[in-house]
Structure 1
Amino acid sequence: MPQPATLSATRCILGEGALWHPDRGSFLWFDILGHRLYEHDGQTERHWQFDRAVSAAGIVEVSHLLIASERDLFLFDLDSASETRLCDLEADNPVTRSNDGRADPQGGFWIGTMGYKAEPGAGAIYRWYKGELRQLFGEITIPNAICFAPDGGHAYFTDTPTRVIRRVALDAEGWPVGEPDTWLDLRPEGLNPDGAVTDAAGNLWNAQWEANRVASYAPDGRFLRSFALPTPQTTCPAFGGADYDRLMVTSAAEGRPEEDGAAGNTFVFKTDARGRAEPRVVLA
């Protein structure tokens, strides 16, 4: 079993939003409650500080990201650290913040919201596509595992407390078609699905909160294998590196004892799996 290396020993309160940026040759991730975006190129770590919670991003171009915050979606220039607002995201609701999100193969961006105290049903899942923000699914408590089949035919997501990962078909423009179905039921094992990503073969890799692991499942939902981590609160994986054979996994220190020195760290595995480049977000 591969052993994780520590990519970053920075203790994130709530690490999330793992993302590889091929143009920059770097991993990106967020500390939602620390209001920070981090970047690590394998040698050097840097960060950007925000005045609000930020949680997930999609790549637009080499120096620009679409970022989701507790109140808006905005375009962020990594070179100048300047922001350009795109639209509100539950800006009139102080109860909620953004959580898990990812770009889809059609160029849209999916983002979930949730209550700061995980209030039941307070959140939702939205899609931003070519200037339009549309709510897709409501009454979500903790949105997670947002990722997509490589061919863009399906999206996956979960409401973590349900312990069920759902799948929904997508049309040619990336909008859901029909009702989501149960793709993976983790209730018998008592596992809590957190962030997820698919690899080039369509296998889904899911970080599992409080389980010290990230687990891989075939497109038909069969369990394939898992990689162990040295801290229980694993949150979000992403493939990266020149050959997309590095699996990065974020974690959370919130609520963990100081003795858990790995809590909130960001890890990387060398794997025999292959990821793929994240889709670019289409602005218009």
Structure 2
Amino acid sequence: MEDAPYEILSPHACHLGEGPAYEGATDTAWWFDILEKTMFEAKVASRVVKKHLLPTMASEVAAIDEERQLVATADGLYVRERASGRLELLRKLEEDNDVTRSNDGRVHPCGALWIGTMGRNAETSAGSIYWFFRGELRKLWGNITIPNAIAFSPKGDVGYFVDTREGLLKRVTLDPASGLPTGEPTTLYDHRREDGGMDGAVVDAEGLIWNARWGAGCLDVYTPEGERVRTVRVPASRPTCPIFVGPAFDRLLVTTASEGMDEDAKAADPLHGQTFIFNVKARGLAEPRVKPFAS
């Protein structure tokens, strides 16, 4: 386990901090407290943070253009007007299933969104992973309990994901032009005998996979061949997801949570739920804009 220099971007103690995103053109980071129905907006350089209250739980945000964002929520995919915050439903997500909500997601280099769903109480096998691109929604995999670690290789020819409950990091070949699978998932790393659970992930410019390990207070770094090459300490026990930020994408924002912790556990983990920025001596890539509309 190595230590890396870090700063606190936001001292707000999120119940379930998740879904960070970053827009380099405006130096703006976004993330959610899923359970508290809140979206955060932060100017990274100035550390100015705003909170936006939402009408429902949400877990993923992606830029469409300068005026609009796509937000994944408990009941669907919404277009959000940046100026007003107004949400307009674009596509229902599991509209016949009130057990589930959205969870981890990421935009593929081509502009397709992969978004996971899970049971609101982590019901076994209640979740799925979907592909959404230019107005079309497809289920890729079902019978998933907690979908996480959705990430893509720099060229978009490989995708990664995990069912946190299962503990097997999966690798699948993709069509770079569409973000759709071209083969069956295979196991890249078996985490079942290790502490904590594999949570959100992002891939850096070299193709290394940075994965937050819930319950173990760290980030693990894996090669595309499945070798763990680094473990970086996080000063909160329940990190949830990383994203590269800054003008050169050379710092790592990490969200954390306090879900499931009693008062004694929180006292022993005083930085629980806070949002951090680390200098990990690595460089990421700009997140692509999502393409939600038929052309």
Q: TM-score if structure 1 supplies the norm length?
A: 0.97
1-structure distance, mates of 2:178, 2:85: 31
Q: Deviations over 1:184-206 (max 9, x none)?
A: 11123244100000000000000
Contact 1:100 1:111 in 2 (8 A): yes
Residue in 2 that maps onto 1:4 = 6
| Residue pairs, 1:146-185, within 5 angstroms | 146-171=150-175, 172-185=177-190
Contact 1:70 1:91 in 2 (8 A): no
Residue in 1 that maps onto 2:82 = 78
Residue in 2 that maps onto 1:280 = 289
More moved, 223-232 vs 143-152: 223-232
Contact 1:216 1:223 in 2 (8 A): yes
1:125 offset after TM fit, Å? Answer: 0.4
More moved, 232-241 vs 254-263: 254-263
Q: Does 1:136 align with 2:140?
A: yes
2-structure distance, mates of 1:120, 1:255: 17
1:255 offset after TM fit, Å? Answer: 2.3
Which one-letter code corresponds to 2:104 in the other structure? D
Q: Deviations over 1:150-204 (max 9, x none)?
A: 0000110000011111011111321111210001111232441000000000000
Residue in 2 that maps onto 1:240 = 245
Contact 2:18 2:256 in 1 (8 A): yes
SS at match of 2:243: strand
Which one-letter code corresponds to 1:54 in the other structure? A
Q: TM-score if structure 2 supplies the norm length?
A: 0.93
More moved, 140-149 vs 247-256: 247-256
Q: Does 1:99 align with 2:103?
A: yes
Contact 2:195 2:216 in 1 (8 A): no
Corresponding residue pairs, total:
284
Residue in 2 that maps onto 1:223 = 228
Equivalent pairs: percent with the same residue? 43
Which one-letter code corresponds to 2:212 in the other structure? A
- List structure 1 segments (4+ residues) > 4 angstroms apart after TM superposition: none
2-structure distance, mates of 1:175, 1:200: 21
Q: Does 1:90 align with 2:94?
A: yes
1:271 offset after TM fit, Å? Answer: 2.4
1:261 offset after TM fit, Å? Answer: 2.4
Structure 2 alignment gaps of length 5 or more: none
Residue in 2 that maps onto 1:17 = 19
Which one-letter code corresponds to 1:89 in the other structure? L
SS at match of 2:247: coil
Q: Deviations over 1:187-244 (max 9, x none)?
A: 2324410000000000000000101001111111111112111211110000010010
SS at match of 1:183: strand
SS at match of 1:52: coil
Contact 2:12 2:274 in 1 (8 A): yes
Residue in 2 that maps onto 1:33 = 35
Which one-letter code corresponds to 1:123 in the other structure? G
- Which residue of the other structure, out of 182, 191, 202, is the alignment partner of 2:207? 202
Higher percent of residues as strand: 1
Q: Does 1:263 align with 2:272?
A: yes
Structure 1 alignment gaps of length 5 or more: none
Q: Deviations over 1:70-127 (max 9, x none)?
A: 0010111121111121100112211111000110011100100000111000010001
Which one-letter code corresponds to 2:219 in the other structure? V
| Residue pairs, 1:105-116, within 5 angstroms | 105-116=109-120
1:248 offset after TM fit, Å? Answer: 0.5
More moved, 254-263 vs 97-106: 254-263
1-structure distance, mates of 2:115, 2:94: 12
